[in-house]
């Protein structure tokens, strides 16, 4: 853990899609207990949440969400998107978010991975998006920039987003997991690297951390599949949000890292059953990726909010006509910017 970061600069936001968080919280206790937690209950979840004692936390349920944003708006926080409410109401600098079906992982030496510490290290050391370092993160112990890395690029840029990975159940789409039902990710790759500027990637919401002060408004609930469900196989909301975040980061000269920390993702759900629901999302990516690769923001967009608004407008113009889902997503993005300004701002 970086010495310059105080525990009270961090919020851990958990979206609760299942009511019984007992084993989840207990597994994470040694890592989470020193931090403040925000638990947001999926507004569609009917059962009462079960949360063990001994944590410093705030729990938000549907009535709370309704109170803060209004009953008509609270629908945007359904399902996995409930965690965005946590991002909205947090007042901390750093947010770390993991899905409620993930436990701490063990590294290659059998030592428990402190995912929070690793995310914070990622966020508080520079990113290097303008030139690829073949020894990966040059700021990590025992590594450095390699021969040939321009000196003027060695101070790097601020890292806004840290994308972690998953052992056991990897974040595959339903067709892939259905084809290989036994496949589990057992490869622990001991690296963190910066995703190069203008390179896009699928940013999974399962294990993620970000600098809320710098990039907060860009993590947003907007794209909702018609058949969106309660398994990650049945969603694309995080992938969409991640594309926006990367485009905004590239424009503002901020970094995105990927790699460690790993979490252990428990087996859950049935890929074949989810196939039908996610197929829609799979098809969408064929449009979404070339679109985001072509987006160029104006020089006038100098704040994250402005960038998000610009992306939303381009989505409306270029994708909105192709599928009403995109038109709705664009509107949701603009609404989110307004919501962030009124509810989310730290002032």
Residues that bind another protein (CB under 8 A): 108, 131-136, 142-153, 163, 165, 170-173, 176, 180, 183, 185-191, 195-204, 232-233, 236, 239, 242, 258, 282, 285-286, 288-289
> Between 55 and 131, whose beta carbon lies closer to another protein?
131
Instruction: Quote the least distance from Cβ 55 to another protein, whole Å.
Output: 30
261, 112 in Cβ contact below 8 A? no
Residue for token pair 């790759």: 189
> Between 166 and 340, whose beta carbon lies closer to another protein?
166
Instruction: Quote the least distance from Cβ 132 to another protein, whole Å.
Output: 4
Peptide bond into 185 cis (omega under 30): no
CA distance 59 to 40: 6
> Between 124 and 177, whose beta carbon lies closer to another protein?
177
End-to-end alpha-carbon separation of the chain, Å? 28
> Between 201 and 272, whose beta carbon lies closer to another protein?
201
Q: What is the 3-state secondary structure (H, E, C) of 85-129?
A: HHHHHCCCCEEEEECCCEEECECCCCCECCHHHHHHHHHHCCECC
Instruction: Quote the least distance from Cβ 264 to another protein, whole Å.
Output: 15
Instruction: Quote the least distance from Cβ 211 to another protein, whole Å.
Output: 20
Instruction: Quote the least distance from Cβ 30 to another protein, whole Å.
Output: 26
Exposure of 99 in the CB half-sphere (CA atoms within 13 A): 28
The closest alpha carbon to 208, from 105, 122, 136, 137, belongs to 122
Where are the extended beta strands (E) located within the chain?
A: 10-16, 36-41, 56-60, 94-98, 102-104, 159-168, 192-194, 207-211, 255-265
211, 87 in Cβ contact below 8 A? no
> Between 89 and 271, whose beta carbon lies closer to another protein?
271
Give residues with Cβ within 8 angstroms of 314, minimum separation 6: 295
> Between 28 and 291, whose beta carbon lies closer to another protein?
291
CB atoms within 10 A of CB 253: 13
> Between 17 and 65, whose beta carbon lies closer to another protein?
17
CA distance 102 to 105: 9
> Between 282 and 301, whose beta carbon lies closer to another protein?
282
> Between 232 and 251, whose beta carbon lies closer to another protein?
232
The closest alpha carbon to 84, from 308, 311, 267, 302, belongs to 308
Instruction: Quote the least distance from Cβ 221 to another protein, whole Å.
Output: 16
Instruction: Quote the least distance from Cβ 309 to another protein, whole Å.
Output: 24
CA distance 27 to 113: 12
């Amino acid at each position: 853990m970086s010495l310059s970061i105080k525990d009270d600069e961090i919020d851990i936001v958990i979206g609760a899609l299942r009511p019984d968080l007992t084993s989840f919280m207990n597994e994470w206790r040694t890592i989470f207990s020193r931090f403040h937690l925000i638990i947001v209950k999926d507004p569609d979840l009917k059962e009462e949440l079960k949360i063990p004692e001994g944590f410093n936390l705030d729990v938000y349920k549907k009535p709370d969400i309704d109170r803060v944003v209004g009953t008509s708006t609270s629908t945007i926080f359904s399902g996995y998107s409930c965690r965005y409410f946590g991002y909205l109401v947090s007042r901390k600098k750093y947010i770390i978010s993991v899905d409620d079906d993930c436990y701490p992982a063990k590294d290659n030496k059998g030592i428990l991975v402190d995912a929070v510490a690793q995310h914070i290290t990622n966020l508080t050391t520079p990113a290097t998006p303008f030139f690829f370092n073949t020894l990966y993160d040059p700021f990590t112990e025992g590594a450095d920039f390699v021969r040939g890395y321009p000196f003027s690029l060695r101070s790097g840029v601020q890292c806004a987003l840290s994308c972690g990975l998953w052992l056991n159940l990897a974040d595959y789409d339903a067709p892939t997991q259905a084809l290989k039902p036994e496949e589990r990710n057992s490869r622990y790759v001991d690296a963190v690297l910066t995703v190069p500027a203008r390179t896009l990637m699928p940013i999974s919401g399962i294990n993620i951390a970000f600098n809320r002060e710098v990039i907060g408004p860009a993590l947003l609930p907007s794209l909702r599949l018609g058949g969106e469900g309660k398994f990650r196989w049945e969603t694309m909301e995080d992938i969409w949000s991640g594309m926006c975040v990367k485009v905004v980061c590239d424009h503002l000269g901020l970094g995105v890292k990927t790699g460690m920390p790993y979490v252990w993702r428990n087996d859950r759900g049935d890929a074949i059953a989810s196939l039908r629901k996610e197929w829609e999302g799979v098809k969408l990516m064929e449009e979404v990726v070339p679109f985001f690769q072509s987006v160029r923001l104006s020089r006038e967009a100098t704040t994250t909010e402005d960038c998000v608004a610009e992306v939303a407008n381009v989505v409306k113009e270029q994708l909105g006509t192709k599928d009403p889902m995109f038109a709705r997503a664009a509107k949701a993005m603009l609404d989110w910017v307004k919501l962030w300004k009124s509810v989310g701002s730290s002032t």
